[in-house]
Amino acid sequence: MVRKLAFGICLAAALAALAPAFAQSPAPTTEEEKTVYALGLLVHRNLAPFELSAAEIAIVQRALADAQAGKPAVDLEAYAAKTQELAAVRGERRAGVEKEKGKAFAEAAAKESGAVKAASGLVYVETQAGKGASPKATDKVRVHYRGTLVDGTEFDSSIKRGQPAEFPLNGVIPCWTEGLQKMKVGGKAKLVCPSDIAYGDRGRPSIPPGATLAFEVELLDIVK
């Protein structure tokens, strides 16, 4: 498993390093080309925890060339585990930066008109009053939502997919479990979720470690 993971990491970094050379390639048109293109998107995800510098990318390029020539400069078995340690260290560093940005973002959101800051750190802002019932933590809900990072980057949207999401309220991040219980069916709200009640220091492929998240949520129904 370690060997496969290390290989995937090196390959991902190397492909990313070569990206400028292929930037002018024609856009994919066939299903097979689009599938291969999706591999590039997966590579981009795998690179995120490492935040490689230009100099480090050059080292990875050298490693790929050396491996292809059958003359690697280091023993992969000896260093494979260290790639995980590197990911952890850099993830922790990035989480610290994200938490500082998130703290400032949440403080600004808490000053918005009508904003309520909970003891958990959740900032709740009602943007449209609902008229129905409020869900309990054990209820299943149907919602439309849009999620963004503090810089406005959208990482998920049921609206864009054109399909509402349904889930048990006690099966999602704590910020949602708490925030949606404040809503009524038909209502809309903004939820600002510090990382402690979102995805923590591990993050997700499209969410940095330590990230504060902002959600625009519409509670469509409580599913019986």
- Establish whether 167 is a catalytic residue: no
- Establish whether 215 is a catalytic residue: yes
Closest CA to 194 of 176, 171, 210: 210
CA separation, residue 29 to residues 22, 33, 34 (Å): 16, 6, 7
DSSP-derived 3-state class of residue 17: helix
Pairing between β-strand 116-117 and β-strand 123-128 as defined by DSSP bridges: antiparallel
Q: Do 129 and 114 contact (CB within 8 A), yes or no?
A: no
Q: Which residue among the candidates 145, 197, 201, 222 is catalytic per the annotation?
A: 145
Q: Which residue among the candidates 139, 159, 173, 196 is catalytic per the annotation?
A: 173
Q: Do 188 and 208 contact (CB within 8 A), yes or no?
A: no
- Establish whether 139 is a catalytic residue: no
Q: Do 50 and 86 contact (CB within 8 A), yes or no?
A: yes
Q: Which region holds residue 45: left if phi is over 0, alpha if psi is between -120 and 50, else beta?
A: alpha
- Establish whether 37 is a catalytic residue: no
Q: In the chain, where does DSSP find H-type helix?
A: 2-17, 19-22, 31-47, 54-68, 76-110, 158-161, 174-180
Q: Which residue among the candidates 124, 199, 201, 222 is catalytic per the annotation?
A: 199
- Establish whether 145 is a catalytic residue: yes
- Establish whether 199 is a catalytic residue: yes
Q: Do 207 and 199 contact (CB within 8 A), yes or no?
A: yes
Please identify every residue annotated as catalytic: 145, 155-156, 173, 199, 215
